[in-house]
Amino acid sequence: MKQFKNLFEVINYHSKCPFCSSRMHADMGLNYDENSVTAYLQFGNTHLTVDCYTNSIIKIDTVSSVTFAGGPPIFMGSSLNDLSVGGVNIRRINISCDNCSKYAYLTQIHISLDNQKIVALVLNSESASIEEGAKLYEIKNIFTTEKTEMATFHTHLSQQRGALDKVELPLVPLDLQNPLKTVERIKSLLVFL
């Protein structure tokens, strides 16, 4: 299981999509400036400013009420995404290609508000969509369970009825330089299932 030293490594694990070379984008929970050493994380009503190199939490903001023009404050309820004091909060950040949508990776972020620090960053999964002829293969490597999942779809809309096949195997390395090699390797392993 891959662990990152800091948030900077997470952001730069694949800064460009291996399929189309477009810049990868984090989901709404993470904003960062390439020229800065800080990132902004949002989990429910909790907003964190984090040093990307040391994983130290610089600032914690909790949005608890909103006031509309001249009206009384409206207090926002707690959500499941909010961070709690005491123990370690585990949340996720998804980084994907918005251009071709063929590649994404998901990272677990372990946050300790007591220690004012991100205490662990773990690569949870990596997924790729690969076309071959009239088929689309969606491969997902789940590193936390050491499994590879592959679903096969027919790319012609009149034939699409859901996944034709969905298989689960022990972890198969994803070749991002030649992703069809990964598809062929998984196909060759299917005879052993």
- Long-range own/partner contacts, residues 166-174 (CB < 8 A, 24 or more apart): 167/193, 169/193, 170/146, 171/141, 171/143, 171/146, 171/147, 172/141, 172/148, 173/141, 174/126, 174/128, 174/139, 174/141, 174/148
Strand partners, 147: 142, 170
The pLDDT score that the predictor gives to residue 83 is 81
Q: Is the pLDDT of residue 109 over 60?
A: yes
Whether the CB-CB separation of 78 and 45 falls below 8 Å is answered with: yes
Going by pLDDT thresholds of 50, 70 and 90, the confidence category of residue 77 is very low
Q: Report the percent of the chain where pLDDT is more than 90.
A: 59
Whether the CB-CB separation of 97 and 108 falls below 8 Å is answered with: no
**What is the rounded CA–CA span in Å between residue 85 and residue 116?**
10
pTM of the shown model = 0.82
Average pLDDT value over all residues in the chain: 85
Q: Is the pLDDT of residue 165 over 70?
A: yes
Whether the CB-CB separation of 41 and 105 falls below 8 Å is answered with: no
Average pLDDT over residues 58-62: 89
Q: Is the pLDDT of residue 85 over 90?
A: no
**What is the rounded CA–CA span in Å between residue 97 and residue 136?**
17
